[in-house]
Amino acid sequence: MIGRRLLIAGNWKMNLDLYGSYQLAKMVAEGTKSFENIDVLISPSFISLGVIGQKLKDTELLIAAQNCHYEESGAFTGEISLDMIRSTGVNWVIIGHSERRALFGESDEIVAKKIKYALLNRFHVIGCVGESLEQRENREQEEVVQKQLDTILRDLSEGELENLVIAYEPVWAIGTGKTATPEQAEEMHEFIRKIVSKIAGEDRGKSILILYGGSVSLRNAEELLNQTDIDGALIGGASLEAESFNGIAAIAEDISKEQG
């Protein structure tokens, strides 16, 4: 992190019902409200967004949807539009998570289309990229991430890029307890920053937030967040307990304070 404000984001995935989500959201809002040097975000299920978006609208906590559709409205059974999300008071969305890509068939093109549409509609987007285990073992990680990024970035205007955060999540590290080493993560983040600089200019390359995701925990957060090009974390498992999530946010707050 060099002069960038760290972002600690919790991706709750398909966990917690309405009551459980609201309880956890309140504990996160309460436990992180004194942190002035970082941003904290939670991403509950669609079902809980309405209640959490409304009840916590006067807190500093950022709230994101986990997905969205790229059309305004229409015959898309089971899908959720950006206008529906916005009506809950939420203006952040995670797009292209590897589970969406692998389990729900979202190609690089679909992910790029959703990201473009969300940014065009003034949403803040966390766009996810990352390689599979097989791709890493074949040393194709840079090629894969470059292609994902090229597809996302090629159509974005300068104004749209301002609201884009990238999350690098090696698929082999998600939910497996296997984290990328700080060196592996830093190497890829540096690479991502270079690609962004090449496509969108050096200033954007320097300022864009790049989060690391994949088994981030209380145990490894400090080492990861201390890397120069890591600007925060996208956290799955450890975001489901207030103690671990708020603890990681506290570590980030300390790092930000020291460096700021």
The interface mask with ligand PGA, positions 170-209, x = CB under 6 A, is ----xx----------------------------------
Cα 126 to Cα 97: distance, rounded to the nearest angstrom:
9
Q: Which of 106, 169, 186, 253 binds ligand PGA (CB under 6 A)?
A: 169
Nearer to ligand PGA, 2 or 14 (CB): 14
In the numeric block, which tokens belong to residue 55? 């009840």
Shortest distance in whole angstroms from residue 215 CB to ligand PGA: 4
- 216 is a site residue for ligand PGA (CB under 6 A): yes
CA 47 to each of CA 53, 67, 115, 181, 244: distance values in angstroms, whole numbers, following the listed order:
11, 12, 22, 35, 24
Nearer to ligand PGA, 61 or 216 (CB): 216
Nearer to ligand PGA, 185 or 200 (CB): 185
- 49 is a site residue for ligand PGA (CB under 6 A): no
Nearer to ligand PGA, 107 or 176 (CB): 176
For residue 82, give the nearest of 67, 60, 99 by alpha carbon: 67
Ranked by CB distance to ligand PGA, the top (closest) residue is: 236
Residue with tokens 């890591």: 230
Shortest distance in whole angstroms from residue 173 CB to ligand PGA: 6
Q: Which of 67, 237, 245, 249 binds ligand PGA (CB under 6 A)?
A: 237
| Amino acid letter for position 202 | E
Nearer to ligand PGA, 121 or 135 (CB): 135
Reply yes or no on whether 97 is catalytic: yes
- # binding residues, ligand PGA (CB under 6 A): 13
Site for ligand PGA, residues 57 to 86, rule: CB under 6 A:
none
Reply yes or no on whether 160 is catalytic: no
Q: Which of 24, 214, 231, 256 binds ligand PGA (CB under 6 A)?
A: 214
Shortest distance in whole angstroms from residue 3 CB to ligand PGA: 25
Exposure letters 161-173 (e unless 16+ CB within 10 A, then b): beebbbbbbbbbb
Q: Which of 88, 121, 135, 215 binds ligand PGA (CB under 6 A)?
A: 215
Query: Which positions touch ligand PGA (CB under 6 A)?
Result: 11, 169, 174-175, 213-216, 234-238
Q: Which residues are catalytic?
A: 97, 169
